[in-house]
Amino acid sequence: MIASTEARRLAAYEEGAGDLLALVKQDDIIVAHIGKARLALPATLEQSLRPLIGHWIAILRTDLPQREYLFRIRIEEPEQ
């Protein structure tokens, strides 16, 4: 298990992007394995992020009161 001290917290208006590989719950945070990065995020985001494992995502931290984290998701469409 990765220690939360190895996971990085995003500053306001900083973004982490890449393939969401895994989520690890630790105490009151989740550690999101995004590409080679490990991001410490609030545990309240787990339900929103868990279905996105395996997809490319970008997580932006803001200073907006009710929208502290915003997501962009790239879901590949099947070729026809």
Tens-digit pLDDT string for the chain (80 aa): 444 458 999 999 999 999 999 999 988 899 999 999 999 999 999 999 999 999 999 999 999 988 999 999 987 766 76
**pTM given for the model:** 0.82
User: What local confidence, expressed as pLDDT, does residue 77 receive?
Assistant: 66
| Max CA separation in the chain (angstroms) | 45
- Contact between 59 and 48 under an 8 Å Cβ cutoff? The reply is no
In the 8-state DSSP scheme, what is residue 78? P
User: What local confidence, expressed as pLDDT, does residue 5 receive?
Assistant: 53
User: What local confidence, expressed as pLDDT, does residue 78 receive?
Assistant: 64
Contacts of 2 (CB under 8 A, 6+ apart): 24, 26, 31, 33, 38
For 78, list phi and psi in degrees, rounded to 5: -65, 140
What is the CATH topology of the domain spanning 4-74? OB fold (Dihydrolipoamide Acetyltransferase, E2P) (2.40.50)
Domain borders along the chain are 4-74
**Among candidates 21, 10, 27, which has minimal Cα distance to 49?**
21
